[in-house]
Amino acid sequence: MAIFGLFNKEKKDKLDQGLSKSRKGVLEKLNRSVFGKSKVDEDVLDELEEVLITSDVGVDTTLRIIERIEARVAKDKYINANELNTVLREEIVELLEEKATPDYNDWDLPKDKLPYIIMVVGVNGVGKTTTIGKLAYKYKNAGKSVYIGAADTFRAAAIEQIEIWSERVGVPIVKQSMGSDPASVAYDTLSKAKNNNADVVIIDTAGRLHNKINLMNELAKLKRVMQKLIPDAPHEILLILDGSTGQNAFEQAKQFTKATEVNALAVTKLDGTAKGGVVIGVSDQFKIPVKYIGIGEGIDDLQIFNRREFVDSLFKE
């Protein structure tokens, strides 16, 4: 693997630390299952199935991973049970690479798409506002000028919440009052950002369950209104998924994509005990790349997702 620079080393340490709780569960279970075994047998595979399913990887992706391990065992004949960890890591990374979605590496922005418009969407309580705060902080630190648009005009105190984040990070915010038209807020934000030559605009939206048709249509409207000002906006429609969500995450990804052409995912709350297997499952089932992961409550606890680093960190010994 490439040599890590100082920045990457720091990033890796943070990732390791953030995922320590998730990892603990995965490894403990796996170690227990292979303890005293000299080779990978049916029992070990059963245990592996349990480990993956209880990590929320999902039945389909779990079966795919197990099939791969089985094939590997058949081919290599004598895989030591202790090697299972390494094999598992390799197979998962390979599985994730099959989709060939790009891995992002830094906070650079495409130069032909400035200001770069990010519209943040997701169901209620997944951490949209917090993620926006962290994103603004990261982009600001990368030397970009950032604008935030408070287009969650529905939930009580949502505007106040994002406003506090904008103050914390020190970036301008565009807002109207509670109950106003979110599309109008988005339009205002884009026009201000454009006039001030901003680099990034992050638009917050109200949490909505993906089976509420009216609310999903509202997102399409938001998008249309933004396009009046910047024809290819939003450049990034970022769906936030809660890392402790189970199989419904797939339905969320499907429905939001149908309504608004989501082209990036962020998975939050990975510092909890939930195993975050949803990252693996979603990467396997969808062509939409996981772009960011949230690994803590601090303003700095957001990272650009890298498959290999993530899997390595999750199964680190």
What is the three-class DSSP state of 121? strand
- How far apart CA 266 and CA 279 sit, in angstroms, is 9
Closest contact distance (angstroms) between CB of 275 and other proteins is 7
Q: Within 10 A of 285 (CB to CB), how many other CB atoms are there?
A: 17
Looking at beta carbons only, is 189 or 252 nearer to other proteins?
Answer: 252
Q: Within 10 A of 240 (CB to CB), how many other CB atoms are there?
A: 26
Residues facing residue 174 across a β-bridge: 149
Q: What is the enclosing helix (H) or strand (E) of 311?
A: helix 307-314
Residues facing residue 150 across a β-bridge: 204
**Tokens at 236, concatenated:** 């990034």
Closest contact distance (angstroms) between CB of 233 and other proteins is 27
Q: What is the enclosing helix (H) or strand (E) of 132?
A: helix 128-141
Looking at beta carbons only, is 274 or 311 nearer to other proteins?
Answer: 274
Which residues sit at the interface with other proteins, rule CB under 8 A? 21, 50, 53-56, 58-59, 123-127, 129, 154-158, 160-161, 163-165, 168, 178, 209-214, 242, 244-249, 251, 269, 271-275, 278
Contact 243, 274 (CB under 8 A): yes
Closest contact distance (angstroms) between CB of 237 and other proteins is 20
Closest contact distance (angstroms) between CB of 258 and other proteins is 12
Looking at beta carbons only, is 82 or 161 nearer to other proteins?
Answer: 161
Looking at beta carbons only, is 244 or 306 nearer to other proteins?
Answer: 244
Looking at beta carbons only, is 101 or 244 nearer to other proteins?
Answer: 244
Angle at 209 between CA 226 and CA 299, to 5 degrees: 70
Closest contact distance (angstroms) between CB of 213 and other proteins is 5
Q: What separation in angstroms does the CA of 125 have from each of 4, 51, 187, 284, 301?
A: 35, 27, 25, 24, 18
Closest contact distance (angstroms) between CB of 245 and other proteins is 5
Looking at beta carbons only, is 52 or 81 nearer to other proteins?
Answer: 52
Closest contact distance (angstroms) between CB of 83 and other proteins is 25
Closest contact distance (angstroms) between CB of 84 and other proteins is 19
For residue 95, give the nearest of 59, 69, 77, 56 by alpha carbon.
69
Residue 241, Ramachandran bin (φ over 0: left; ψ between -120 and 50: alpha; else beta): beta
Looking at beta carbons only, is 226 or 239 nearer to other proteins?
Answer: 239
- How far apart CA 89 and CA 106 sit, in angstroms, is 24
Q: Is residue 172 reached through a cis peptide bond, with omega within 30 degrees of 0 on the bond before it?
A: no
Looking at beta carbons only, is 199 or 271 nearer to other proteins?
Answer: 271
